[in-house]
Amino acid sequence: MTTTHDVYAPSFMTGDEFHIPTFRLLQQDGTLFEGAEAPELDEDKALKIYRAMLITRVLDERMMAAQRQGRLSFYMQCTGEEAAVIGATAALDDADMIMAQYREQGALVYRGFSYDEFMNQLFGNELDYGKGRQMPIHYGSRKLHYMTISSPLATQIPQATGYAYGQKLAGEGHCTITFFGEGAASEGDFHAALNMASVHKVPVIFFCRNNGYAISTPSSEQFAADGIAPRAFGYRMHVIRVDGNDVLAVYRATQEARKLAVEMNQPVLIEAMTYRLAAHSSSDDPSGYRSRKEEEAWREKDPILRMQRWLIERGWWSEEREKELQDSLRREVLETMKRAEKRPPPPLESLVTDVYADVTPALQRQLDALKTHIRKHPDAYPKGARSLDPDVKAPGGEHKAGDEQGGA
């Protein structure tokens, strides 16, 4: 259905007629803007949000260092975007589904994913829920309603629409939020998802982290329009643009978006304006496409520092508690990492399970051939050799698998 009025001479529009403001509450010094009203947030919940932001920052710093030491093959940081991810997650019901892209570990932290669970996935050991089949940072948790990460860009966006349609049919008062970057919004999946959500009126929140870059491509080279938010008009969808480094504004915006989604079955698009302070991934060097001056300007807008100042101003936090918490978190991360990297890999047999009810003869022959090959070349496959024969010592005097069960 279209709504229009007649004209009798050519009349073109560019979209410049629409202006989308940015919703803000908290200034960088930790005080509210004049006329702004903080959302209802008690001390316990505010500190839970802040703690999750700190944990995410410390986890990212330590694990990127571990990758540089050769202990991990790959890593991606959330640095600079903690307020966007965690502020939005805190505004949801814990049973709402989260479909993330790959930089939303803060959402898992907020919902209670432990350091052990993070480390088991990163190292792909025997306690990894994904049985070592995914590359690092591809987390998932059924109990925390966090769909397992997929590497292909933007696939989670139409999946979120479909899942939300099921939630609408179930009628239990839940919604789905899907996170993605502005680069993923250039994929066809984005448009298909928004169109389907709008037509079928499903309870889904599309949360775009506009951090300025699609890997190395700046937003100015990705699209000509005013960001991602105006695209909602093409689907007659509710939309809001928010300061993604303002955790209070993100929290409030997502609260209101959830009401529209759950109470009115209206999809919502949120564009959070933020900045990726870290590299795109451990494989990226941002010095090749952006300046140090630009990065430093955004470091002055650090979302963690902004919330810390607000908490101190309210008397809920102190510099002493900050130092104590950061020190304890760093110790805990290192201790957990050491436990996880010592655990053995998943059993070799798990390579051929979870597809068929019974392993097919063809798969069994392939598995047997693989075992023969590993036993013939144990030095080339030390972990696999120990998995098959726990008493076999790996080159260099590494621990035997049977010695690595402690700390589980």
pLDDT at 407: 34
pLDDT at 16: 83
Range of weakest confidence among 31-40, 155-164, 272-281, 378-387: 378-387
pLDDT at 1: 58
Mean pLDDT of the chain: 93
3-state secondary structure the chain: CCCCCCCCCCCCCCCCCCCCCEECCECCCCCECCCCCCCCCCHHHHHHHHHHHHHHHHHHHHHHHHHHCCCCCCCCCCCCCHHHHHHHHHCCCCCCEEECCCCCHHHHHHHCCCHHHHHHHHHCCCCCCCCCCCCCCCCCECCCCECCCCCCCCCHHHHHHHHHHHHHHHCCCCCEEEEEECCHHHCHHHHHHHHHHHHHCCCEEEEEEECCEECCEEHHHCCCCCCCHHHHHHHCCEEEEEECCCHHHHHHHHHHHHHHHHHHCCCEEEEEECCCCCCCCCCCCHHHCCCHHHHHHHHCCCHHHHHHHHHHHCCCCCHHHHHHHHHHHHHHHHHHHHHHHHCCCCCHHHHHCCCCCCCCHHHHHHHHHHHHHHHHCCCCCHHHHHHHCCCCCCHHHCCCHHHCCCCC
Percent of the chain with pLDDT over 90: 89
The 10s digit of each residue's pLDDT in 387-401 is: 887 665 544 444 433
Per-residue confidence at 326, pLDDT binned at 50, 70, 90?
very high
The 10s digit of each residue's pLDDT in 174-232 is: 999 999 999 999 999 999 999 999 999 999 999 999 999 999 999 999 999 999 999 99
pLDDT of residue 2 exceeding 90, the answer is no
| CA pair distance 156, 148, nearest whole angstrom | 10
pLDDT of residue 293 exceeding 90, the answer is yes
pLDDT at 66: 97
The model's pTM is 0.93
